[in-house]
Amino acid sequence: MKDINLKGKSFLKLLDFSSDEIRYLLDLSKELKDKKKKGILHKDLEGKNIVLLFEKTSTRTRCAFEVAGYDLGMGVTYLDPNSSQMGHKESIEDTAKVLGRMFDGIEYRGFEQEIVEKLAKYSGVPVWNGLTTEFHPTQMLADVMTIEENFVNSKGLKLVFMGDARNNVANSLMVVSAKLGINFVACGPKENMPSAELVEKCKVIAKENDSTITLTDDVIAATKDADVIYTDIWVSMGEEKSIWGDRIKLLSPYQVNKSVMQNAKASAIFLHCLPSFHDLNTTVAKDIYDKYGLKEMEVTDEVFMSSQSKVFDEAENRLHTIKAVMYATLKD
Ligand code: CP
Ligand code: NVA
């Protein structure tokens, strides 16, 4: 691999990174996971401080950034959706300038991609995108890491995203697939496909890496002989609760269930970024059940709990991959 140096670079979207740079981050993630498993401590970033800005809720991303920060020896400050001045009393630009004076790196989860791009532009320190309306790039590193733990090589595999194919997770999956030569299929209703602009960009990149991008509403054709079946919740954070009824109608045909998994390869795995509505053990799922009579949504409990489901390995890999991103962009 050519010399890769990501020091000082922000991690805002995967389109900003070459295939070699993504591969470098994945290799580094594997190395850091191995160290963690062996109990090898390496506080390589001791003396540095990071801030985590969350305008939306989180379990995995927040915990992964915090634990990774501590493992690397850093100080970590968490700002929840109500406890900073950003947006309400202070502009993004001013906030970025202030945080850049105090911290060595900034994580942001929230709304428009433009916000995270502005934070990077004005802070002068690396900014990491922990999810925006458009993209969720740290998630993809964990997803590909999990795929490669099951298949060794991800190049040439068929990955199918089922459901709300224009959300942040689907967009980012399409980009990472194009960059790494994975054949990507978005399977969902025509009105919920990624933007034509992003699809065109990804098709060009995919061609360079000998893979394809396919958009379809045909579940049987899409999932036939798939290696990876992926889905996400039907209503994302920041969307109105009132759209649940329409989304259920629109996306129910794209639920990941036993017949979908049986149509895929016998060796296929199931992935989901989580959280997931696969049972009635959450307040949202109970509300939906009371209103619409649905016991499970984007994935059945049977598939979620099956041996093909690798969702908890995937969740753990958020830690190792986020650690790799911070290490690569902060280490001298
Ligand atoms: N997958 C993911 O980003 O999970 P959280 O919303 O819990 O961070
Ligand atoms: N699409 C989901 C992903 C959550 C990790 C959301 O934005 O809410």
DSSP 132-198: -SS--HHHHHHHHHHHHHHHS--TT-EEEEES-TTSHHHHHHHHHHHHHT-EEEEES-GGGSPPHHH
DSSP designation for 266: T
* DSSP H helices in the chain: 19-38, 60-71, 92-102, 113-123, 137-151, 168-180, 196-208, 219-223, 244-251, 258-263, 283-292, 301-304, 311-330
The Cα-based distances of 5 to 25, 117, 205, 220, 330 in angstroms read 11, 21, 22, 43, 10
pLDDT reported for residue 49? 98
Q: What is the C-alpha separation between 276 and 316, in angstroms, rounded? A: 16
User: 122 with 145, same domain?
Assistant: no
Cβ contact 128:325 at 8 Å:
yes
User: What's the rounded mean pLDDT across residues 67-90?
Assistant: 90
Is 80 exceeded by the pLDDT of residue 72?
yes
pLDDT reported for residue 234? 98
Contacts of 239 (CB under 8 A, 6+ apart): none
The response to whether residue 309 sits with its C-beta less than 6 Å from ligand 2 reads no
Residue 32 lies in a domain: yes
Q: Which of 60, 139, 255, 320 is catalytic?
A: 139
User: 56 with 111, same domain?
Assistant: yes
Residue 247 lies in a domain: yes
Residue 239 lies in a domain: yes
Of 56, 132, 133, 136, best ligand 2 pocket probe by most atoms within 8 Å of the beta carbon: 136
- What residue numbers bound the domain in which 177 lies? 139-315
User: 100 with 119, same domain?
Assistant: yes
User: 147 with 232, same domain?
Assistant: yes
Cα of 274 vs centre of ligand 1, distance in Å, is: 6
Q: Measuring CA to CA, which residue among 122, 121, 52 is closest to residue 94?
A: 122
Percent of the chain scored above 70 by pLDDT?
99
Is 70 exceeded by the pLDDT of residue 2?
no
Global pTM value: 0.97
User: 178 with 58, same domain?
Assistant: no
Residue 289 lies in a domain: yes
User: 47 with 170, same domain?
Assistant: no
194-204 burial code (b ≥16 CB/10 A, e <16): beeebbebbbe
Is 80 exceeded by the pLDDT of residue 204?
yes
Which amino acid would we find at residue 29? S
Cα of 237 vs centre of ligand 2, distance in Å, is: 6
User: 76 with 208, same domain?
Assistant: no
Does the active-site annotation cover 232? Answer: yes
User: 181 with 260, same domain?
Assistant: yes
Atom of ligand 2 nearest to the CA of 232: 1
Residue 9 lies in a domain: no
Residue with tokens 């902060």: 330
User: 158 with 275, same domain?
Assistant: yes
User: What's the rounded mean pLDDT across residues 249-264?
Assistant: 98
Is 90 exceeded by the pLDDT of residue 221?
yes
Q: What is the C-alpha separation between 326 and 8, in angstroms, rounded? A: 10
Is 80 exceeded by the pLDDT of residue 24?
yes
Strand-by-strand arrangement of the 127-129 sheet: 75-79, 49-54, 105-109, 127-129
Ligand index nearest the alpha carbon of residue 143: 1
User: Which tens digits make up the pLDDT trace of 3-15?
Assistant: 899 999 999 999 9
Residue with tokens 């595999």: 157
Determine the Cα angle at 279 with ends 283 and 290, to 5°. 50
Q: Which of 227, 232, 247, 255 is catalytic?
A: 232
- 3-class DSSP assignment, residue 299: strand
Residue 264 lies in a domain: yes
Q: Which of 60, 62, 136, 278 is catalytic?
A: 136
Phi–psi pair at 14, nearest 5 degrees: -70, -20
User: 297 with 184, same domain?
Assistant: yes
Average pLDDT of the residues of the chain: 97
Does the active-site annotation cover 187? Answer: no
Cα of 4 vs centre of ligand 2, distance in Å, is: 30
Is 90 exceeded by the pLDDT of residue 84?
no
Please count the structural domains in the chain. 2
Cis peptide before 81 (omega within 30 of 0): no
User: 209 with 112, same domain?
Assistant: no
Q: Give the chain's end-to-end CA distance (angstroms, integer).
A: 20
Count CB atoms within 10 A of the CB of residue 214: 17
User: What's the rounded mean pLDDT across residues 186-206?
Assistant: 98
User: 108 with 177, same domain?
Assistant: no
Does the active-site annotation cover 94? Answer: no
The response to whether residue 273 sits with its C-beta less than 6 Å from ligand 2 reads yes
pLDDT reported for residue 1? 58
User: What's the rounded mean pLDDT across residues 95-100?
Assistant: 96
DSSP designation for 229: E
pLDDT reported for residue 83? 80
Residue 3 lies in a domain: no
Residue 4 lies in a domain: no
User: What's the rounded mean pLDDT across residues 176-203?
Assistant: 98
pLDDT reported for residue 89? 86
Which CATH number is 93's domain given?
A: 3.40.50.1370
